[in-house]
Structure 1
């Protein structure tokens, strides 16, 4: 056992002595730290994205983006930590991602919030220096995950989707026929409607534009992309 440890130590020392273009082939201490921090950050991202976001929003189209952004930001911050920009660098990243907007598909507020959380956690786990102990790092991540859990589970802040419908039974839009309108819309769409808004009325063509709002958890078949 002892001989194996000595052999591994000698191997690492030999690898660290190898240089190419005046750059070390490997820095064992930094490499191990990268693996440990990356694994820890990955576990936290899985907890947030898979077990908090996914179970309460029922949208899978953002999974790829959340994981990709989290991994990229972590590696970017970790590898550029030697630049010593630290807080200013982190704030610069927040500013860059704060103005990002996907032109083809606007991000809903809740998804944008989770994206900000993913970026923030990745930056924290990557830029925490030797002055921050591992216990402080674990507690910080636990507070963030626990806070999201409380908001999602205890306060039950569910996401609300909307769907615009062109409705031809114009007589049902009268405010005295609210129950008839909701019943008719539920029968036609099969959606458990929470509320609705009449956005446009055209008496010339006897049609109205109605926006219905519903809970995606209760209506999993209707995953409306905004």
Structure 2
């Protein structure tokens, strides 16, 4: 596989993955930069190490690259870590330049297509995960399940009690549930329709004018 094909394959794959799939869906510019930088860096080092004739040298070099990549930010979700891993894999596939030449483009396209499908809004669109603190210590799991099902309007609930405080009467729960199908109008739109927005403004203007008159007097 030629070097030009490897670079074009990798740049095309990381553009689709980082910008088209990730950024347009999740809108984090900092991670967009991280994915592209990681991918290009792994590609460059892999191409440089591929010229080493001894196979163990390439293996040790790649191990050194992977050992310095650590994810310590608390703001990175498991979903975003998956994008990190895929960005790294795309760089390795293109940098190793496997034969025949269609192998790297085919594998890269397959990986990007898998991310497109799995991270799409149509895949498990009603599945949710929440961490919730309840103002009561629930010892009965069946009662707790019913409370969570009612709270989240869920058709299926699976939970794990993370902390049970009998002194403060609280329960910390990690909840995985499937939300019920929503109707046409959302709760927010109905609430906004019931509140007359112009009424408070009209009532407050005479008071403000009277206040200015008293101050000037």
- In the alignment, what sits opposite 1:207? 170
Report the CA distance shift for 1:82/1:127 in structure 2 as closer, same or farther (over 3 A): same
> Which segments of structure 1 move beyond 6 Å, counting only runs of 4 or more?
none
Q: What is the alpha-carbon distance in structure 2 between the residues aligned to residue 165 and residue 146 of structure 1? A: 34
Q: Are positions 1:101 and 2:82 aligned together? A: no
Shift of 1:44: 0.6
Q: Normalised by the size of structure 1, how large is the TM-score?
A: 0.55
In structure 2, the CA distance between the partners of 1:53 and 1:168, relative to structure 1 (3 Å rule), is: same
- How many residue pairs get matched? 175
Distance apart, 1:50 and its partner CA: 3.3
- Cα deviation per residue 1:115-146 (whole Å; 9 max; x = unaligned)? 333222212212327xx354343223233334
TM score, norm. by length of structure 2: 0.56
Question: Deviation at 1:93?
Answer: 1.6
Cα 1:181–1:66 shift into 2, 3 Å: same
Residue of structure 2 aligned with 1:126, choices 95, 105, 114: 95
**Structure 1: segments with no counterpart, 5+ residues:** 1-32, 216-226
RMSD: 4.3
Aligned to 1:71, what secondary structure does the other structure show? helix
Shift of 1:97: 1.6
Q: Distance in 1 between matches of 2:84 and 2:56?
A: 19
Q: Does 1:117 align with 2:86?
A: yes
Q: Which residue of 2 aligns with 1:62?
A: 31
Residues 181 and 169 from structure 1, CA distance in 2 versus in 1: closer, same or farther, beyond 3 angstroms? farther
Who wins on radius of gyration, i.e. which is larger? 2
User: Is 1:197 equivalent to 2:197 in the alignment?
Assistant: no
Query: Does the CA contact (< 8 Å) of 1:163 and 1:213 recur in 2?
Result: yes
Of residues 113, 127, 143, the one that matches 1:176 is 143
